[in-house]
Structure 1
């Protein structure tokens, strides 16, 4: 959509149309909602001032990228957002050349912009990277690593800070906005350069010092002093819903030919009154009724996340040394409940996974029992801290890994496929997984007794109810759920146990089922015993095949020289696409019916 020729009135009408389209489609499909509604004017202004086919448009996390998709030839296709085979809910270059980079994890945008700016300079091109980043993403350390270099090399980058949470008092806000615009305006910039070159540099040392201090004093009353100190110009705060003001400011920022942060105040959920403001439940939503705001949620079994929260709450009441942390996902991980019950023992450290792990390592050294509750996909961000700060010293930190396996509509950046593969090779680490609600409670109780690092994984949504009673956990001990009369053995790990049970129920043969429970250490005794009865083994686990559960079993088979064959029904060597979980499983040929045919 070419908006360069549109006047202000036409652009404002376009903003209304974009909001209506987003509300209509997301109310039916679900998706990221309040953050994307709040960024409509900012996005339209970016497209007005910059050239999306030339200037890199970089959206941090890209929760707020729906208006961008609608402006770049995907208006009709937007109907398929987050659906299997449809548009991704995040930016995706394979989907459109207007999407500069894949984004799903936060705080990568400014680093990308720095790399793009360096490349543009080396190629001698006239292009400017433009970033949209939210105030939440500014809590991650990677942002400041990038700003630190950007302030040093001073290449042209415009950073739009979409601030929908910070509170700035009106008097200070209006004064600082006025002064910031003056400081960034073309007249002031030319005047400052002229004064600096023709007057200040020729003044005696004392006068020069005074002149510099006057300028610094003016900057100190703006809220952007931290950025100015890092060598990056700051403009704002401006009204992130005043289209004329945003366009004017972005024009100024683009013309400065150096790094600039434009601080824009926005309202989450803008344009849909029910969702406006600081209401976390409207960040990512399922289908809802537009008129009432009521979610069309089907009655469902209790999610594993809620069961985990119950188990951890019971443990925290029993033991005073139980502490915990989450990284900006309190409600998503169930830790919000623990933070309310035990405000001095459970913390949200914002988008700072590395800090979360290392700070809990210190608490473990001090005699506490830390539970780091985190999505599988976000634990990847703290891999070095898991090794360096937890495993080397063998500290008894518990990693409660939520959203393990297929997570559905969020797609490649959020699937919980790799945690087994990258944790299994770490010395001192113990890996185990429950198969249902009962065994999840038992797993949490067992984890408290361990004096080594351990990781427990559980899926998004609810476990399936199984007919088998769960034994108490013992270190490195599996549980044989049923014997079989054929030569086949189904080995399940975690949620893979229910898939093994479903597949066995559809199979015409009577097949033995083993709940492996521990992938590290393996129950070598039971594997030896079962090898003498069953020589065709099939592994069920919602994880990556390379370095995964079957890989661990095959390593032991080779070591013990067992005469069995092993087939794995784990994920193959590719990233998993977005869509409804069942459709994703069908595409991977991993439904119970498909597995029966394979076997």
Structure 2
């Protein structure tokens, strides 16, 4: 879609067309909704003012990139958004040259822009990185690490701060609004540059100081003081839905040839009234009815997240030292229930996983029992803190790892594949996983009593229905669910138990099934005994093969000099695509009907 030469009226029509297309497709297919609707005018203005064919367009998280995809030759293909073999819900360079970088995690955009700006300067090119970052992403420390260097080196960069949720600094009445409007104008920017040069070249030192203090006093009643003090110019706030104002402001920022933050106020869900405003349920949605905004209900079983939330709430009622934290995902992890019930004991620290881990380490040292509720993919961001601040001192922190395994439509950046591999090698860490709703409750009971760091992993969605009686967890003890008459043993971990049971039912032989329960420490005694009876072992776990459950078992067998034929049905060495979970599993040859063919 070519918009460079379009008039303002034509661009307004394009904005409406984009909104209509997003509402139509997402209402039928699901996807990120309110954030992407709120970014339509900003995205159109970016493409009007800058050149996407040469300027790096960098979207933070990039769940707001649907308008960008529609502008850049994916209008018809947009029907496939987040579907298996379809468009990604995030920016993806393999889809289009207009997508500069893969993004799915928060707060990486300004660092990318700094790197791109350095490369542009070294190559002597006339290009400028353009960032769109939401105010929620501004809570992460990585943003300020990047701004710190950017403000020092002064690389030309335009950062659009899409403020749709939590204000960076609340404007103070009419004066602030008026001054912010002035600051966004081309006359002010031109005047400011001229005054700066005049003062620097012509005025004595004392006068320069007074002029500087006057300028700082003006900035104190605008929201830009933080950025200005870091050496990054600030313009705004502006109306993020006023296309003419956005275009004029971006042109000013582009021509300043230095780092500039353009602060734009937007409304989440803009253009679809049921979603407008601060409604978390409209961030990422399933299919819904456009006419009334009602979601299409599914007869789904209770999710593992909901079971976890209820079980942790029971623990918190029973034990006053239970505390918890989440990093900007209160409803996603179920901890919102506990924040309402115990607001002084459970916190959302925003997008700050490192801080979440380290702050809970200190609480553990003070005698509390912290539960860090976090998605598997996001826990990766706190890896050093897990080692340095929790495990090194063997502190009793519980990591409740949600979304472990395949997560479906969010895809490559969000799959919970690596937590076992990167946690298993850390000293003092205990790793366990429940197989169903009841054993999840027992796992949390165990984790509360654990004397050191403990990670409990569970899947997105609901556990499978199993017939086995649930029993409490004992450190390092597996549970043999059924004996078998063949030479084969299925070793299953967590949600892998369901897949093992379904595969066993399809096989013509009677196969033994072991619920491993702990991958660290392993139940070496039980494994040693089972090696005498079963010579072929098959591993079922929703995790990466390298460093995963199968690796742990092979390490044990090697240490014990035991000779067993081991086959692991974990994920191969690749990033897992997005799409419906069943279709993704089928593409990985992990459906029970496919696995049974591999068992001999």
Q: Which residues of 2 match residues 522-533 of structure 1 at below 5 A?
A: 522-533=522-533
- Count of residues in correspondence between the two structures: 599
Per-residue displacement from partner, 1:140-189 (whole Å, max 9, x unpaired)? 11111111111100111100010112459998465445434544654444
Show the counterpart of 1:114: 114
Runs of 4+ in 1 over 6 A off after TM superposition: 168-171
2:457 maps to 1:457: yes
Show the counterpart of 1:46: 46
Contact 1:184 1:253 in 2 (8 A): no
Moved more, 570-579 or 555-564: 555-564
Specify the SS of the correspondent of 1:367.
coil
In 1: Cα distance, 2:346 partner to 2:372 partner: 10
In 1: Cα distance, 2:196 partner to 2:539 partner: 72
Per-residue displacement from partner, 1:207-257 (whole Å, max 9, x unpaired)? 222122122222222111111111111111111110011001001010100
Q: Which residues of 2 match residues 475-486 of structure 1 at below 5 A?
A: 475-486=475-486
Q: Which residues of 2 match residues 366-377 of structure 1 at below 5 A?
A: 366-377=366-377
1:202 is displaced (CA, Å) by 3.2
Specify the SS of the correspondent of 2:554.
helix
Specify the SS of the correspondent of 1:340.
helix
Show the counterpart of 2:84: 84
TM-score for the superposition, normalised by structure 1: 0.98
Q: Which residues of 2 match residues 238-253 of structure 1 at below 5 A?
A: 238-253=238-253
TM-score for the superposition, normalised by structure 2: 0.98
Q: Which residues of 2 match residues 265-284 of structure 1 at below 5 A?
A: 265-284=265-284
2:487 maps to 1:487: yes
Q: Which residues of 2 match residues 199-348 of structure 1 at below 5 A?
A: 199-348=199-348
Contact 1:173 1:237 in 2 (8 A): no
Specify the SS of the correspondent of 1:381.
helix
In 1: Cα distance, 2:467 partner to 2:295 partner: 32
In 1: Cα distance, 2:184 partner to 2:372 partner: 44
Distance 1:194 1:471, change over 3 A: closer
Contact 1:286 1:297 in 2 (8 A): no
Contact 1:434 1:495 in 2 (8 A): yes
In 1: Cα distance, 2:455 partner to 2:510 partner: 33
1:401 is displaced (CA, Å) by 0.1
1:332 is displaced (CA, Å) by 0.3
Show the counterpart of 1:96: 96
In 2: Cα distance, 1:334 partner to 1:168 partner: 26
Distance 1:314 1:169, change over 3 A: closer
Specify the SS of the correspondent of 1:269.
coil
Specify the SS of the correspondent of 2:87.
coil
1:292 is displaced (CA, Å) by 1.5
Specify the SS of the correspondent of 2:287.
coil
1:293 is displaced (CA, Å) by 1.0
1:294 is displaced (CA, Å) by 1.1
Show the counterpart of 2:570: 570
Per-residue displacement from partner, 1:405-457 (whole Å, max 9, x unpaired)? 00000000000000000000000000000000110000001111110101000
2:147 maps to 1:147: yes
2:10 maps to 1:10: yes
Specify the SS of the correspondent of 1:136.
helix
**RMSD of equivalent CA atoms:** 1.4
Show the counterpart of 2:67: 67
In 2: Cα distance, 1:388 partner to 1:167 partner: 33
In 2: Cα distance, 1:412 partner to 1:56 partner: 22
In 2: Cα distance, 1:170 partner to 1:454 partner: 41
1:204 is displaced (CA, Å) by 2.8
Distance 1:183 1:310, change over 3 A: closer
Specify the SS of the correspondent of 1:27.
helix
Contact 2:489 2:534 in 1 (8 A): yes
In 2: Cα distance, 1:593 partner to 1:169 partner: 56
2:573 maps to 1:557: no
Distance 1:95 1:169, change over 3 A: closer
In 1: Cα distance, 2:175 partner to 2:214 partner: 17
Contact 2:323 2:370 in 1 (8 A): yes
Contact 2:184 2:238 in 1 (8 A): no
Could you tell me which runs of 5 or more consecutive residues in structure 1 were left unpaired when the two chains were aligned: none
Show the counterpart of 1:466: 466
In 2: Cα distance, 1:241 partner to 1:197 partner: 34
Show the counterpart of 1:22: 22
1:192 is displaced (CA, Å) by 3.8
